[in-house]
Structure 1
Amino acid sequence: MPELTKDDRSAQAGPAGRPLLSMESVTLRFGGVVALNEVSFDIREGEILGLIGPNGAGKTTAFNALTGVYQPTSGRVVFDGQPLGKRKRYQINRLGIARTFQNIRLFGNMTARENVLVGADSHHRSGVLNSLFRLPLHRRETREGLQLADELLEMMDLGHRGDDLARNLSYGEQRRLEIARALATRPKLLCLDEPAAGFNPVEKQRLMDLIRRVRDLGNTVLLIEHDMRLVMGVTDRIVVLEFGKKIAEGAPEQIRNDPAVIAAYLGVDDDQLSEEDEHL
């Protein structure tokens, strides 16, 4: 298992800016409810893409569609040139997509280091016999997994908490531990679902720095987040959903000034915005 270094990550990367994941006209229905309506967008290799929208816009549904939780009713998701189709979630993870969740999902009775090792284990090739007889492959993978876990804990400023039970970590530390565990799977695409929920301003700034650090190591990041200051400050591009449809896509400054986005968040329509603009 290679060490988590910028040079190693860069060497694995393909052409800069190529589409790493594409949602192609994805529609997802739950009975008579259309949660996603022909949504299309690309996530480019090496970028931080924000996925935003009002409550009920379809953000988490899109997130779940591209990570294998839901199967699209129509359309498809293509990752690194491969249609995801009906692959299982663990198969999608092995292809290189890792995620965190809105609600923290750690193993509370395991140490921080052991939680990260769970992620590292997803790529281990040694089976029961290797483990039982402690054969060379098992010993090597165990050693490399421990090294990677300690590197990731240091990266998340959790190096001093490696032996502590996950349930005894602070809320912010648990959030960072979830990111460390996801990174231990060695993803090409890291999907973060509202990672700043419950954070104070200092913790949010720390998270922004951390997300940039993850990207600088060669990872691509998809971010769902309600905090607009964080989204505008850390993303390269933003996709906006409303009522299951994509209404805007572009750089943060474009999105900030897009009338359709302003209307979606303020609850006014484009005609009202135009009338207000005339009076300014």
Structure 2
Amino acid sequence: MPDTDTRKALLEVDDVTIRFGGVSALESVSFDIKEGEILGLIGPNGAGKTTCFNVMTGVYQATSGQIRFDGRPLAKMKRFQITKLGIARTFQNIRLFKSMTALENVLVGVDANSKVGLFNALLRTPLHRRTEAESIEAAYALLDFVGVGGRANELAENLSYGDQRRLEIARAMGTRPKLLCLDEPAAGFNPAEKQRLMDLIRKVRDDGYTVLLIEHDMRLVMGVTDRVVVLEFGRKIAEGPPAEIRDDPAVIAAYLGVDDEDAS
């Protein structure tokens, strides 16, 4: 079925291959993420999902192929440059500064794009003080947005697991990204927490962000995404709306470990 979505492609993965030694972690993978959508990237363990994330965010360089963001090739860019360009991510394993408060963690993200130089910071010039006040206001707003505003001054390590997950999303949003990449954000969540997460992801999109979601929980993926890309053994095996992906024999076979003919 032809793609009738006329929205601009914000990120384009074009025939990307990445090899470690003689092993292909991704093999000729292509897809795009359109502005304002929630795209799910799914597949069994070892399918290459996180490797794909890592190529997008500068952790790995592609062996061949190209990734473009907002029309610009990402090859050779360092991670901080990709962040400044407008891509932010969370991680499978929470990576907060646990001895810092929730507010301070978000300020790390907010200050990532600060244009106030060392001179202004050392002398605490009016520009520095004004920028600092604006950053603190923005950080409080993000904490409220994700639902942990009441715990702004608590150490990150003292927050519940769910609040730590939400805090990591707030910190990523603090960099003011165009694309927010969430790597298994529902890991360890109970059903009620997963529902809250789905509501938050929709809220993030409605606030003007584009979202890329890696997630194993199929109910969450099918309930919140606009479109889904499926990987298996480093190759793309399916792409389409959630309803189509749910009934795709190749996807069923990949998850159940049966032949396509048996799944159809």
Of 199, 204, 210, 2:189 maps to 199
Distance in 1 (CA, whole Å) between partners of 2:195 and 2:13 is 30
Structure 1 residue ranges (4+ consecutive) displaced by more than 3 angstroms after TM superposition: none
Question: What aligned pairs does 1:105-254 form with structure 2 within 5 A after superposition?
Answer: 105-254=95-244
The question of 1:96 aligning with 2:86 is answered yes
Distance in 2 (CA, whole Å) between partners of 1:224 and 1:270 is 24
User: Where does the alignment leave 5 or more consecutive residues of structure 2 unmatched?
Assistant: none
Distance in 1 (CA, whole Å) between partners of 2:162 and 2:139 is 18
User: Where does the alignment leave 5 or more consecutive residues of structure 1 unmatched?
Assistant: 1-14, 275-280
Shift of 1:139: 1.2
Shift of 1:272: 2.2
**Distance 1:16-1:168 versus aligned 2 partners, 3 A rule:** farther
Match of 1:272 in 2: 262
Q: Could you list the per-position Cα deviations for residues 56-114 of structure 1 after superposition, in whole angstroms to 9, with x for gaps in the alignment?
A: 00000001011111000000100001001110000000000000000010001110000
Between 256-265 and 127-136, the greater mean CA deviation after superposition: 127-136
Does the 8 A contact of 1:102 with 1:195 survive in 2? yes
* TM-score, length-scaled by structure 2: 0.97
Match of 1:257 in 2: 247
Shift of 1:136: 2.1
Distance in 2 (CA, whole Å) between partners of 1:201 and 1:16 is 35
Shift of 1:125: 0.9
Match of 1:7 in 2: none
Q: Which amino acid aligns with 1:108?
A: K
Distance in 1 (CA, whole Å) between partners of 2:158 and 2:7 is 40
Match of 2:34 in 1: 44
CA RMSD, Structure 1 to Structure 2 (Å): 1.0
**Distance 1:213-1:82 versus aligned 2 partners, 3 A rule:** same
Distance in 2 (CA, whole Å) between partners of 1:238 and 1:173 is 27
Match of 2:22 in 1: 32
Q: Which amino acid aligns with 1:158?
A: V
Does the 8 A contact of 1:16 with 1:45 survive in 2? no
Q: Which amino acid aligns with 2:31?
A: F
Match of 1:62 in 2: 52
Distance in 1 (CA, whole Å) between partners of 2:7 and 2:90 is 24
Distance in 2 (CA, whole Å) between partners of 1:235 and 1:32 is 34
Percent identity between the two aligned chains: 71
- SS of match in other structure, 1:56: coil
Does the 8 A contact of 1:120 with 1:184 survive in 2? yes
Q: Which amino acid aligns with 2:92?
A: Q
Shift of 1:237: 0.1
Q: Could you list the per-position Cα deviations for residues 189-209 of structure 1 after superposition, in whole angstroms to 9, with x for gaps in the alignment?
A: 000000000000000000000
**Distance 1:70-1:236 versus aligned 2 partners, 3 A rule:** same
- SS of match in other structure, 2:208: coil
Does the 8 A contact of 1:16 with 1:46 survive in 2? no
Q: Which amino acid aligns with 1:85?
A: A
Distance in 1 (CA, whole Å) between partners of 2:23 and 2:178 is 32
